[in-house]
Structure 1
Amino acid sequence: MISRWTVVVDRGNLAETEVLHDELPSGSDLSDCEVLLRVSRVGLTANNVTYGVIGDVLGYWNFFPAGGSGQGVVPVWGFADVVDSTVDALPTGTRVYGYLPMASHFVARARLTSSGFVDTADHRAELPAVYNSYLVTSSDPAYDANSEDLQVLYRPLFLTSFLLADQLVDNDFHGARTVVISSASSKTAFGTAQCLRGQGVRLVGLTSPRNVEFTKGLGLYDTVLPYDAAVDVEPSVYLDFSGSADVRSALHSRLGAELKKDVSIGLTHKTPSQDSRSEFFFAPDQLRKRTADWGSDGLAQRFGEAWRGFTAQAAGWVAVVQHHGPDELVEVWQAVLAGKANPDTADVISF
């Protein structure tokens, strides 16, 4: 029997993990339009912690259902290869990029698109389309075989950065001319800062004292401050990538009416914010808006230009650390979950 493995977490305590093994489906087990994918290479960042923290709120646990009660599979982004298929256009060996489980394999029900396929499995029917779409690398103009590490680490994060920055520009920064960004050393945060450079706003990065020098070295923020420093009182938007209630309260207390908008994006502090003063940013909403405004090709063109500008610099900011197999995947998950990951390194896991 050929087995597959899946890393599951306790949905009530994300630090509790287990590696489960079961039988791998064979070609005869696949229904029409199904493909069996072997997960090859994924990135793991604080963004994946966010998926777990708000998994019940935004349905992230529903993409890759776990068998055990109270257990869940955390989604990751990366590359996978077709190892068995009932779809002629997706033969064995086809490499795809997309939303994957923390697992060695998974089965998708493929509806072909011009760039790849959409997983139309019943349990994914009501979930956001951006997470159900898979790009075939041979049809993806942004794919570069020599930079897969950058793609699994940054591409999903940078899409959020791109859309968040675009939403701010689209709303004229809600009347503010300063953008305060917490967890400023995190990848999605500094991707947002990179998108906002040259947009006529002052960028203030907040980070832990140990990350101040790294964050300054990025050259993306006009000012970098430790969390306990006081920001200038001026019309501001707060982009919260940390989920820290203390930081939020301090900013509201200091800025008062000058805080024009408070937006929550990530949750590196592991506790979802229930503060009514903050508005949650959900990237698929802005993606749908811009697809309607610009069309799919127009959106792809704008994102592609921003992505190329970002990757031209990103390789010099962070060193990639390579890991292998489910046990090392669990080790990285525990480190990122505990906030022990270094801002100047990034973790890629191959299987």
Structure 2
Amino acid sequence: MSEFQVKQQALTTHRLVATNEIKDVSDGQILLKVETFSFTANNITYGMMGDRLGYWQFFPPADNSDKQWGIIPVWGFAQVTESKVAGIDVGEQLFGYFPPAQQLIMTPTNVSSQRLVDGSAHRAMLPPGYNNYKRVNNEEGYNPNFDKERMLLFPLHITSFCLWDRLQDNNWFAGQQVVIISASSKTSLGLGYALADDDNAPHSVGLTSKGNMPFVEQVNVYDQVVSYHQLSDIDPTLPTVIVDMSGSADILAKLGQHLGDNLKYCINVGLTHWDEFSASHAAESARSEFFFAPRHIQKRLQDWGPAGFEQRTTGFLADTAMKCRAWLEVKELKGLKDLAQMYEQVCAGKIPPKQGLIIKL
């Protein structure tokens, strides 16, 4: 048994730590065997924002007496191997937020036929959306053929949906064009699909690296594709809203200079360029915000109710997943050792944008 850990203040430093096998749980708990999960640039964002948004608190690491190490959460599937909770059977499968490790103990609360919440004490103050788990075996119309997309895309595209919802709900922040930085990221492409399907959406501009331009142009979801070295191709006379998936202070500064007073609003989301991140550039102001999808989800759950939210998002997630099948290439890794070997490439942004990593334990 082992778990994959990274150094909280030096994300490229990582290690595999041996852990004892858990064979029994207390009353009110279940034991899970993590079976498979995805790993993307989004997981690096979890690490970068670990202190600010509490990501380090979800799964306390083993052998961490110096408090320097952390576990980056991942999205995947796990199977119940031991249960002392009535109504939850051994062999049941859950989808949700897990550690890159073989085992996890949970304390289920708010158990319904469709879902449950991990009520473990150390997770009580963390964002509720991450503590919810789907009971896959009970899902109506569950299709295992979508498992890979569910791990790789659904957690990202729910953010895409929320960004589109935020933009259109605020009348595009008076923008006549939306510039999406790091346009090749899967979250960006999800937003691109949402904008392309919205007849009222402004002109969309996908901003990407020169190397990724052929891929982004091939996907053909943005109205315009521009490389980081050709910012002058973006029309500076149009009122503009930026959705930044990169976290690059340099790109934001240059784009802000190019647009001048026509930069109406900036939504900071991801950190694909996490090594160029500057907290001061991501600080909220009258014309910018740091977008935290779980907060937006909680707002819409209150506005629409759980059934209304599910109704609005389920079709979107399924639709975008089907569209992504035209270009998505899934690369399967076997075990945490393979993840450890690929991890630095993920950090360095060297995974091709069309590729998605799935780790099977």
- Please tell me the TM-score bracket, short chain as reference: over 0.9
Residue 243 of structure 2 corresponds to which residue in structure 1?
Answer: 239
The answer to whether 1:130 aligns with 2:129 is: yes
1:50 aligns with 2:27: no
For the Cα contact (< 8 Å) 1:332–1:347, is it kept in 2?
no
Identity of aligned residues (%): 37
RMSD over equivalenced CA pairs, Å: 1.2
Which structure 1 residue ranges, 5 or more long, are not aligned?
A: none
Does residue 203 of the first structure (1) align with residue 201 of the second (2)? Answer: no
- Aligned CA distance change for structure 1 residues 105 and 272 (closer, same or farther; 3 Å): farther
Partner of 1:149: 148
| CA-CA distance at 1:239 after TM superposition | 0.5
The alpha carbon displacement at 1:142 in A equals 6.9
Three-state SS of the structure 2 residue aligned to 1:37 is strand
Matched with 1:299 is 309
| Post-superposition CA distance 1:261-318 (Å, at most 9, x none) | 1111000122353214541001112111111111110110010111121122111121
Partner of 1:257: 261
SS at match of 1:210: coil
Distance 1:273 1:145, change over 3 A: same
Q: How many residues align?
A: 346
3-state SS of 1:205 partner: strand
Compute the displacement of 1:143 (Å). Answer: 3.7
Segments of 5+ residues of structure 2 without an aligned counterpart are: none
Q: Choose 193-202 or 205-214, whichever is displaced more.
A: 193-202
After superposition, residues 68-147 of structure 1 pair within 5 angstroms as: 68=64, 69-111=67-109, 112-141=111-140, 143-147=142-146
Q: Does 1:181 align with 2:185?
A: no
Paired position in structure 2 for 1:165: 164
For 1:256 and 1:141, the matched residues in 2 are separated by 51
Cα deviations by residue, 1:195-233 (Å, 9 ceiling, x for unpaired): 122233111000010100100111110000100112111
Residues 1:349 and 2:359 are matched in the alignment: yes
**Partners in 2 of 1:85 and 1:11 — Cα distance?**
33
Query: Distance in 1 between the 2:71 and 2:141 partners?
Result: 28
State the secondary structure of the residue aligned to 1:213. Answer: helix
TM-score by length of 1: 0.96
- Conserved 8 A contact 2:248-2:278: no
Residues 17-28 of structure 1: matches in 2 within 5 Å? 17-27=14-24
Aligned to 1:273: 279
Matched residue type, 1:210? G
- 2:31 aligned with 1:36, yes or no? yes
Output the amino acid matched with 1:245.
A
Contact 1:163 1:287 in 2 (8 A): yes
**Counterpart of 1:302 in 2: which secondary structure?**
helix
Counterpart AA for 1:310: T
Residue 191 (structure 1) shift: 0.5
Cα displacement (A) at 1:139? 2.6
TM-score (norm 2): 0.93
SS in 1 for 2:229: coil
Q: Does 1:7 align with 2:4?
A: yes
